[in-house]
């Protein structure tokens, strides 16, 4: 009973604090930090970033990917211009929500993020929008899908948009069938042990303005070279993949956008600016089509891993596809 009282007190304090938005690091945006129940590392917060416009009757909640945070201002403005108030989460232990005592990106179970998504959606619901879109990129797409699976028939969102969702590992057959499950097992008994080295920097080079890209972002929060993960993370992702690959996870209309091809290479080339350098696009289609009964998978020519960070022709194609689909769903 005492523990229950503490939880309810925290939740009450959290909702009181939720209205106290402060100016964000991005011009024209504002943010609020919400305290969540603590976990194996101690204190946990979720940060909500928003940009709103008078007269908008719809809203979108965006969930970023792994080794990432929200900084895609152009994407937010596209939603604003198309009648959606924009909200984004910096998940626990990521970006604005990372606390000094925490390991960046650390997780043991993909459903740890359910509380972050649920809190944000309930915050959005206070404004009584006509329609709410739940959106996730890459690992955020996996998180959104797993959340939807455990929140069937939810009234908090009406449709789902997945931008290159992380629905399977992009590894060899042997690694996926033997090495990853063994790493997942190790994640139960030694979650903090290092599981692998970091990934190639080429995707980071393709998007950051200091190299070959168009964008500026905080490389402390979104490193150019993706850092090593631990076995706890491996277990969380592996179990999340097994969950979504069973299918029928999302009971709302769902749009998935993916590139027309994946890009590989041991040396830098401009090909990394014209394809998905992170995931296997065929996996996205194969497992994406299983997610629900009303799923649309569209292919964007020469898109990179993140539609919102791709070169301008691919970005324009992706926004056209997205808002045409949304106009059909929300008319």
85-144 pLDDT, tens digit per residue, is: 999 999 999 999 999 999 999 999 999 999 999 999 999 999 999 999 999 999 999 999
Q: What is the pLDDT of residue 9?
A: 47
66/64 Cα distance (integer angstroms): 7
Report whether 68 contacts 61 (CB < 8 A): no
What CATH number does residue 65 fall under?
3.40.50.1820
Q: What is the pLDDT of residue 327?
A: 97
Contacts of residue 228, Cβ cutoff 8 Å, sequence gap at least 6: 194, 195, 196, 197, 198
How sure is the predictor about 197, in pLDDT bands with cuts at 50, 70 and 90?
low
Assigned token pair, 321: 């596809």
CA distances from residue 113 to 53, 120, 145, 275 in whole angstroms, order as listed: 28, 11, 11, 29
DSSP character at residue 208: B
Please provide the average confidence, as pLDDT, over all residues in the chain.
94
| 155 CB-contact burial (10 Å; exposed 0-12 / middle 13-18 / buried 19+) | exposed
E strand or H helix at 331, and its extent?
none
Whether 4 shows a pLDDT value over 80: the answer reads: no
Boundaries of domain holding 130:
2-329
Stretch among 7-16, 35-44, 110-119 having the lowest mean pLDDT: 7-16
Residue 76: strand, helix, or coil = helix
pLDDT tens string 229-284 = 999 999 999 999 999 999 999 999 999 999 999 999 999 999 999 999 999 999 99
Q: What is the pLDDT of residue 12?
A: 46
User: What is the model's pTM?
Assistant: 0.93
9 or 285: which leads in pLDDT? 285
Strand ranges, E, within 126-231: 131-137, 159-163
Average pLDDT over residues 38-66: 97
CA distances from residue 262 to 67, 167, 181 in whole angstroms, order as listed: 20, 15, 24
Residues composing the chain: 331
Report whether 163 contacts 306 (CB < 8 A): yes
How sure is the predictor about 199, in pLDDT bands with cuts at 50, 70 and 90?
confident
> Tokens 């609020």 label which residue?
32
Average pLDDT over residues 13-33: 80
Whether 26 shows a pLDDT value over 90: the answer reads: yes
In this prediction, what percent of the chain has a pLDDT beyond 70? 94
E strand or H helix at 207, and its extent?
helix 202-207
Q: What is the pLDDT of residue 17?
A: 44
CA distances from residue 265 to 138, 227, 270, 275, 305 in whole angstroms, order as listed: 20, 19, 11, 12, 15
Q: What is the pLDDT of residue 16?
A: 45
In this prediction, what percent of the chain has a pLDDT beyond 90? 91
Number of domains in the chain: 1
Report whether 36 contacts 89 (CB < 8 A): no
């Amino acid at each position: 009973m005492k523990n229950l009282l503490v939880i309810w007190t925290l939740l009450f304090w959290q909702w009181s604090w939720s209205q106290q938005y402060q100016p964000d690091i991005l011009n024209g945006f504002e943010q609020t930090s919400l305290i969540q129940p603590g976990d194996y590392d101690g204190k946990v917060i979720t940060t909500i970033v928003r940009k709103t416009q008078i007269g908008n009757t719809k809203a979108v909640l965006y969930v970023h990917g792994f080794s990432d945070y929200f900084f895609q201002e152009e994407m937010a403005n596209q939603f604003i211009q198309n009648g959606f108030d924009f909200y984004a989460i910096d998940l626990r232990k990521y970006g604005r929500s990372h606390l000094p005592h925490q390991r960046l990106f650390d997780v043991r179970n993909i459903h740890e993020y359910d509380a972050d998504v649920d809190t944000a959606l309930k915050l959005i619901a206070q404004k009584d929008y006509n329609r709410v879109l739940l959106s996730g990129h890459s690992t955020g797409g996996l998180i959104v899908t797993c959340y939807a699976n455990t929140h069937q028939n939810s009234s908090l969102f009406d449709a789902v948009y997945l931008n290159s969702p992380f629905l399977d590992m992009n590894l060899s057959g042997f690694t996926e069938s033997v090495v990853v499950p063994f790493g997942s097992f190790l994640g139960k008994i030694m979650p903090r042990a290092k599981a692998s080295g970091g990934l190639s920097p080429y995707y980071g080079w393709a998007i950051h303005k200091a190299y070959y890209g168009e964008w500026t972002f905080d490389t402390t929060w979104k490193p150019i070279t993706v850092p090593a993960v631990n076995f706890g993370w491996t277990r969380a992702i592996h179990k999340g993949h097994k969950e979504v690959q069973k299918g029928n996870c999302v009971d709302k209309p769902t749009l998935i956008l993916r590139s027309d091809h994946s890009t590989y290479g041991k040396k830098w080339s401009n090909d990394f600016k014209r394809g998905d350098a992170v995931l296997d696009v065929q996996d996205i289609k194969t497992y994406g089509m299983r997610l629900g009964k009303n799923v649309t998978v569209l292919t964007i020519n020469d898109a990179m891993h993140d539609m919102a960070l791709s070169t301008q022709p691919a970005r324009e194609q992706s926004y056209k596809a997205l808002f045409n689909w949304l106009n059909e769903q929300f008319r």
